[in-house]
């Protein structure tokens, strides 16, 4: 399921095209009266037990994002709810000016560089692989940004 459009209006467009070419088509939006809404709930791991009732009472499909390091039973408790489709874990914010998102890519690139130093002896090839890895990471970040995650 794609939660990026959870705020978008749901429905269909009924388009009637007249037989006479000089008349414009008539477009009539029909609001959706079917299906369930999608919603993302975000909780700090330490406070998520308090939000369990809110998620359980929601009439649509839910995605739960736990910020920080949750205990395993918390994730399992959310997964046990009938309307929860996904339970994701996001790193907690480390304060202004530093975020986990900035730290992780640097750590991954450093780890990959160390791996290449051990495995790839050709320095030009190593540089090319490292550059390609950086480009790929950027593409993933851009795609995630466009998707709204």
pTM above 0.85, yes or no: no
Contact 65, 41 (CB under 8 A): yes
**Three-state DSSP state, 99:** coil
What pairing do the DSSP bridges indicate for beta strands 61-67 and 84-90? parallel
Token pair recorded at residue 17: 């095209």
Question: Which residue(s) pair with 43 in the sheet?
Answer: 66
Burial of 64 (0-12, 13-18, 19+ CB in 10 A): buried
Instruction: Output the pLDDT for position 77.
Output: 93
Residue of 87 and 2 predicted with greater confidence: 87
Q: What span, in angstroms and rounded, lies between the C-alpha atoms of 63 and 83? A: 9
Instruction: Output the pLDDT for position 40.
Output: 92
Contact 87, 79 (CB under 8 A): yes
Instruction: Output the pLDDT for position 116.
Output: 84
Token pair recorded at residue 19: 């037989």
Instruction: Output the pLDDT for position 83.
Output: 92
Q: What span, in angstroms and rounded, lies between the C-alpha atoms of 52 and 43? A: 10
């Amino acid at each position: 399921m794609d939660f990026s459009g959870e705020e978008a209006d749901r429905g269909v467009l009924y388009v009637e095209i007249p037989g006479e070419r000089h008349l414009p088509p008539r477009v009539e939006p029909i609001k959706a009266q079917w299906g369930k809404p999608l919603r993302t709930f975000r909780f700090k791991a330490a406070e998520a037990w308090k939000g369990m009732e809110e998620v359980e009472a929601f009439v649509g499909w839910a995605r739960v994002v736990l910020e920080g390091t949750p205990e395993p039973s918390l994730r399992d408790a959310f997964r046990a709810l009938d309307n929860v489709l996904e339970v994701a874990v996001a790193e907690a914010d480390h304060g202004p000016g530093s975020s986990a998102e900035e730290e992780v890519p640097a750590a991954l690139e450093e780890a990959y560089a160390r791996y290449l130093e051990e495995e790839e002896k050709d320095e030009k090839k190593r540089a090319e692989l490292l550059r390609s890895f950086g480009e790929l990471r950027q593409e993933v970040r851009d795609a995630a940004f466009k998707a709204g995650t």
